Amino acid sequence: MTGQESLFPELNTAHLGASAQAGAPRATSGVSAPEPARSGEGPVAAYVSVVVDIPARALSEPFAYAVPAALDEACQVGATVLVPFGRRVEAGYVVTRAEGLESLPGAEGLDPARIRSVRDVVAEPAFCTTSAELAIWMSREYVASLSECLRLLLPPGGAGKVVRGGDGSYAYEPPSVAPVTARWVSLTEEGRSFTPADRAVRQRQLIDALSCGPVTTRELNLMNGDLSATIRALEKRGVVAVEERRSWRGCEASTTLSSANASAPKELTAGQQSALDAIGRATQMARGDVVLVDGVTGSGKTEVYLAAIERVLAQGRSACVLVPEISLTAQTVGRFRSRFGDSVAVFHSRLSTGERLDQWDMVRSGAARVVVGARSALFCPFEDLGLIVIDEEHEQSYKQGSSPRYHAREVAAKLAQLHGCALVLGSATPSAEALARCEAGAFGGARWTRVEMPERPGAARLPEVVVADLRREFASGSRSIFSKPLLDALDEVVEKRQKAVLLHNRRGFASFLMCRECGCVPTCKHCSTALTYHERTHTLECHTCGSSYRVRPYPEYGSACPKCGSRYLAKMGLGTQQVEDALRALLPEDVAVIRMDADSTRAKGAHQKLLEQFDAAECAVLLGTQMIAKGLDFPEVTLVGVINADYALKMPDFRAGERAFDLLEQVSGRAGRGEDPGRVVIQTYLPDEPVIRAVKTHDRSVFTEHDLEMRREALYPPYIRLANVLVWGRDECAARGLVMRIAEELRAEFGLDAAPMLHPMVESGGADAEFSSREVLARPQILGPTPCVIERAKDRYRFHIIVKVPLGCDLSAALAEAVSRAGTRPGVSIAVDVDAYDLM
């Protein structure tokens, strides 16, 4: 756009030092033509910086606009406005406001006569200045468009859109979701002394129903039938009053889970008290300090959160609690509501848009002062945030998979600094990054403190862990899914009428089908991945794009290989559906077998329903994927079994070992939380792996010492920073050409001379072979470009570049500059993932 320069200062591109310093700001205005734009637009009340709602990196900067006097009161920070942009009108968000143009950040030297005016204010402020600062930081840190970051702060339902009419005029269409209200009926002062006539039965019913307080018309009609005519009659006589009140959807849900109640203990353990004291000190410092609560499973971390929040609420402030899985929400919300009542809002993706809007409004209005939810709960409109808690902080689900690709831990740390509150991270298996920052004592201007909670409250003890070597099971002639130790343990659970949890992190029935004659493995037509067989629906499903294909495997009639036509299309591998069938055949009919995976929990409320079934059963086995491994608290569970611990160990990802350890240690912690001791049986072909040995002995150092040494030698976090630049498109040549261009610009940006080549990624050899690990750590490293592990997904060819830089290097600015210079290609998309978790 000619003449529309950014209000943001340019970033220094010398990225090999510490953080880049801002250069001189450039003049910016909402002007697209050289002629004066202010003539005839009326007096100016103020000036604002507006981010145009166009999700493009090239427009990730605000523009200056004048505020007409007629819009002065409505045009505040956080408001959605219509502004002229070039030759059209666009929606935008106000991020800064100043009374004079010279006071507007970045607008020094602009000519007021060239500043165009805001056309209209179409939505009231949705965020404050602090939230706008957070969005600007996210845009720079994660190389995302600023409008995408600001959209996170808007009310659920998304942004509206600007439409152009046939006459050339522009109009704003708001989101379709809208708040709802309820009609409340109450007795007036005159109504309290009103006595209905003897034959006025309906009036007497209404008066009796209202004698204890206001009631909604819906509840009145449910209790007594249709009372609409009676209400209108008594309203005319001044006996009752009817008013519209905001209704909160999403608050009606309750749960029968016994673990959803959180009565305060008589006395905290020494570890709990130590953690609570550390949180108190961090809160008092009011600078965004971080406390890592490193407590074994079942050590009572939730009670620490509750006690800390009680202190914050007593100060008149609010709190935000993040949980990693939807399956935990019913249990966690139940616990918090049992302690804090209706002042708890819940916020996650399984709620409808209308329910999320009402929960969001509860926070904005102050009706809710505690928010419990997934990572998106961070962007609720908190008035005075006093505490942020991230439970199970090691979880990968805290990393956003689409733009902006933020990590909830990093955003929460920034938000805590902006609000001057404490951030609490809790986990039995803290991430390597969190442990490294605590060891250093500080990070990002905040103090990081680790507090250990090594004991479980009361008589509960950590479970005994038994490792079942599947090699020996096979050598002894066993072909069962279940090893002898696991079979014996299941028999004991049935005999004592207890409960068990079985983990198998592969959904479906079989991992894939394979022709026994030609070796063909059916793959997705749209992706370069094998299809998973689902027995219940007789379908092959792609877990990458969701495509589904009808199939009949051997020995069913109609079975045929898609390549050679052979009938011998056999089921290979093991999924949760197959384990479920084996359990039902093995166990007595009075033992409930409940499967919990992505297939059985697709319906709304399915997580809660399945957990309630398990909780209510006298004797039951809960079989599931990783969603059952974290946070669930059932004292009756005395056995945890892991069907195959090896799936996650050999993934092509440097975090594979850490994820495997986290998963196994977390699921092991589900056992022995009550009076009865717990037992864990881990089935594996790799009993000597450090991960397995660490879980068996409950000694994290057995794994972490090995893992950190591997990361140090191969140059991976927490010793360096890592980014993944992903390029994909239907045209393979166009995608390859663009990723090569980006690699060239990255090498130029970091001063690396080697020309990019499309080759497999290797950790040694080539131009950097002569450098030791310590020497290479002092300079950036570009790996690739290369095809992704999943080369094709949803008919798009995928390539990526991995960028490693020393700690302290301004990685985000370098990536933004290189991607900007590389330009774009029609039909080709680019994603920049800073501090990447998914390298597949």
CB 611 within 8 A of CB 331: yes
∠ at Cα 348 (346, 350), nearest 5°? 115
Q: Quote the pLDDT of residue 452.
A: 97
Q: Which ranges of 108-213 does DSSP label H, i.e. alpha helix?
A: 129-141, 146-151, 201-210
Distance of CA 757 to the CA centre of its chain: 35
Which residues share a beta bridge with 89?
84
Q: Which residues of the chain have pLDDT under 70?
A: 1-41, 252-253, 326-329, 754-777
Q: Please report the pLDDT score of residue 770 as a whole number.
A: 32
pLDDT at 41: 61
Give the whole-angstrom CA distance, residue 370 versus residue 322: 11
DSSP string, 187-231: E-TTGGG----TT-HHHHHHHHHHTTS-EEHHHHHHHHS--HHHH
Q: Are 187 and 240 in contact (CB under 8 A)?
A: yes
Q: Which residues of 364-385 are buried (b: 16+ CB within 10 A; e: fewer)?
A: beebbbbbbbbbbbbbbbbeeb
Contact (Cβ atoms closer than 8 angstroms) between residue 96 and residue 105 = yes
Instruction: Please give the pLDDT value at position 35.
Output: 35
Coil, helix or strand for 475?
helix
- Give pLDDT, residue 395: 93
Contact (CB, 8 A) for 83 and 50: yes
Phi, psi of 639 (to 5 degrees): -135, 135
Residue 398, C-beta contacts closer than 8 angstroms, at least 6 positions apart: 322, 324, 375, 390, 407, 408, 409
Is 164 buried (19+), middle (13-18) or exposed (0-12) by CB count in 10 A?
Answer: exposed
CA nearest 292: which of 114, 429, 161? 429
Q: How far apart are CA 173 and CA 89, in angstroms?
A: 13
- Cα distances from 29 to residues 22, 490, 553, in angstroms, run 20, 71, 65
> What six digits make up the tokens of 787?
């095809």
Given a contact cutoff of 8 angstroms between Cβ atoms, the answer to whether 493 and 638 are in contact is yes
Q: 223-258: string of b/e by CB count within 10 Å (b at 16+)?
A: eeeebeebbebbeeeebbeeeeeeebbbbeeebebe
End-to-end CA separation in angstroms for the chain: 37
What's the confidence (pLDDT) of residue 2?
38
What Å distances lie between residue 369 and 132, 346, 384, 460, CA to CA? Answer: 21, 11, 9, 33
* CA gap 151, 414 in Å, rounded: 18
The single-letter code of the amino acid at 342 is D
**Maximal CA-CA distance, the chain:** 102
